[in-house]
Amino acid sequence: MRAITFDKDLPAKIDAEQLKRETGFDVSVQSGGYVERNGVREEIAPSVTFHVPFDEEIGTLEDKLAAHVAEEKPQPDENPERAALLKLLDDPEVIAKINKLKSTKI
């Protein structure tokens, strides 16, 4: 077995178990942080390490990792009422009506 690490342009959060299911290989994920070696501190970039047989193609792993990262998109707002309200607040006409109401003496 050998360890192949990728550390370029990765998000801080990657689901290791899902990536293991997708690739079939054991995975280690480093979410970033720092290492202090003999008093010298260095930042650690997020990285993914695959533990694979010696004959595994690196290009195949790169493709699978890229596909996995592409799926890690931000989730849409799951509360439809909140999403509708936020959309309304982007409407200039609605804002104008709210401001008019705020200035109206009851």
Partner 1 sequence: MASLIEGALATHSVVSVTGIINTTSTSYINYTSASVAATARAGDVVLLIGNMRVSASGASVRTMMQFTEDASVVGQPSSYVAYRTDTGGEDGTIANFEIHAPSAGAHTYRLQWKNSTGTCYSAGAYLIALMLRES
Q: Footprint of partner 1 on residues 75-104 (CB under 8 A)? A: none
**Using the rule CB under 8 A, is 37 a contact of partner 1?**
yes
Binding mask 3-32 for partner 1 (x = CB under 8 A): x------------xx--x-----xxxxxxx
Contacts of range 18-22, beta carbons closer than 8 Å, 24 or more positions apart? 18/68, 19/48, 19/64, 19/65, 19/68, 22/64, 22/67, 22/68
**Using the rule CB under 8 A, is 36 a contact of partner 1?**
yes
Question: 78 in helix, strand or coil?
Answer: coil
Q: Nearest approach, Cβ of 77 to partner 1 (angstroms)?
A: 24
Q: Cα separation of 66 and 48, whole Å?
A: 11
Q: What is the dihedral of CA 63, 66, 68, 70, to 10 degrees?
A: -140
The residue count for binding partner 1 (CB under 8 A) is 22
Q: Which of 38, 75, 79, 103 binds partner 1 (CB under 8 A)?
A: 38
Residues that bind partner 1 (CB under 8 A): 1, 3, 16-17, 20, 26-38, 44, 47, 49, 51
